[in-house]
Amino acid sequence: LVSRKWRVRPTVLDLGDGVRIGEGSLSIAAGPCSIESEAQMEKIMQHLVDNDVRLMRGGVFKPRSSPYSFRGLGMEGLKLFHQMARARGIKIVTEVMQVSQVEEMHDYVDVFQVGARNTQNFNLLDALGGVDKPVLIKRGISGTIEELLSSAEYVFSGGNEKLILCERGIRTFETASRNTLDLNAVPILKEKTHLPVVVDPSHGIGIRDYVPTMALAGVMAGADGILYEAHEKPEEAASDGAQTLNFQESERLIRNLRKVYALR
Ligand code: PEP
Ligand code: MN
């Protein structure tokens, strides 16, 4: 069902208020790895509004490698996130980690994110097949392109056709970067599926200085959007600070992304 053979026309998702994801426009979603506080959200939302970015990413349930790391503000944080975003015309992309969260998060999110560690959580995918909100599925940490498509097929066949695929880097033998951003996946996915494809260069390379370059490369490779981490003070971020852009870097990237997209 997610194949171009089944549907030739590209899927374009309409999130309302003029926010679209898919062919015909470049989607930019930026925000912190983790939602931390009202003050933090105030700052980043102003940054997004100033740059006419209408999609904000930010985790309230965080999958952390260590149980001692910050694991997110949970539902309380999401409710505040939702309230503040609504007031500013911003749409929310945030990670759902388990089936029981789907229902409680539903009314407070615009796009459910399935993280790389949950790409093959088939019960979660089944649950998301039953909702009427878009789902962004990240490629698994060691997942193949075919496995990503298969995960999307779970949600689609469950009845939810509002899907976005995200290349976020895979684990390889390379140690010079956090992950290996597989830009090969972009043209391959664009040919195989009618679904929108976005690139996450932050997790893809994991090193702040290289994030903008890989974001621009993602657009040139054919991505419909870029999802990246930004924070007023990356060095103080509760998670993923080393791959997070400050506002100056983020503003410059947004400008360049739009220029490069116009060249395509
Ligand atoms: C994130 O988006 O902050 C995240 C945890 O991503 P991933 O699932 O790709 O590691
Ligand atoms: Mn992160």
- Of all protein residues, the one whose alpha carbon is nearest to atom 8 of ligand 1 is 115
Longest dimension (CA), the chain: 47
Q: Is residue 36 part of a domain?
A: yes
So what's the pLDDT on residue 37?
A: 98
Split into its structural domains, the chain has a count of: 1
Chain centroid to Cα 100, Å, comes to 21
Closest ligand by atom to 240 CA: 2
Tell me what the mean pLDDT of segment 108-116 comes to. Answer: 98
Report the nearest atom of ligand 1 relative to the CA of 139.
Answer: 9
CA 73 to chain centre: 19
> What is the average per-residue pLDDT within 238-250?
98
CATH of the domain at 18: 3.20.20.70
This complex has an ipTM of 0.99
Note whether residue 178 is domain-resident: yes
Task: Tell me the C-alpha distance between 84 and 40, whole Å.
Answer: 11
Ligand 1 proximity of 96 Cβ (cutoff 6 Å): no
pLDDT digits (tens, 9 = 90+) for 146-178: 999 999 999 999 999 999 999 999 999 999 999
Q: For 5-42, what is each residue's pLDDT tens digit?
A: 999 999 999 999 999 999 999 999 999 999 999 999 99
- Residue 8 inside a domain? The answer is no
Write down the number of H helices and E strands in the chain.
9, 10
In a domain, 1, yes or no: no
pLDDT one-digit tens code per residue, 167-225: 999 999 999 999 999 999 999 999 999 999 999 999 999 999 999 999 999 999 999 99
C-alpha dist (Å) from residue 164 to 42, 125, 199 = 27, 13, 10
Q: 167 in helix, strand or coil?
A: strand
* Cβ–Cβ < 8 Å for 205, 214: yes
Would strands 19-21 and 13-16 be described as parallel, antiparallel, or unpaired?
antiparallel
> Sorting pLDDT into bands at 50, 70 and 90, what band is 229?
very high
| Six token digits for residue 109 | 């999110």
Task: Examine residue 5 and state whether it is found in any structural domain, yes or no.
Answer: no
Domain that includes residue 73, residue range: 13-62+69-263
Query: Is residue 153 a part of any domain in this protein?
Result: yes
State whether the beta carbon of 116 lies less than 6 angstroms from ligand 1: yes
- Residues 168, 57: Cα–Cα separation, whole Å: 14
207 domain residue, yes or no = yes
Written as one letter, the residue type at 182 is: D
Distance 139 CA to ligand 2 centre (A): 14
Report yes or no on 32 lying in a domain.
yes
| CA proximity to 205, closest of 229, 236, 235 | 229
Indicate the average pLDDT of the chain.
Answer: 98
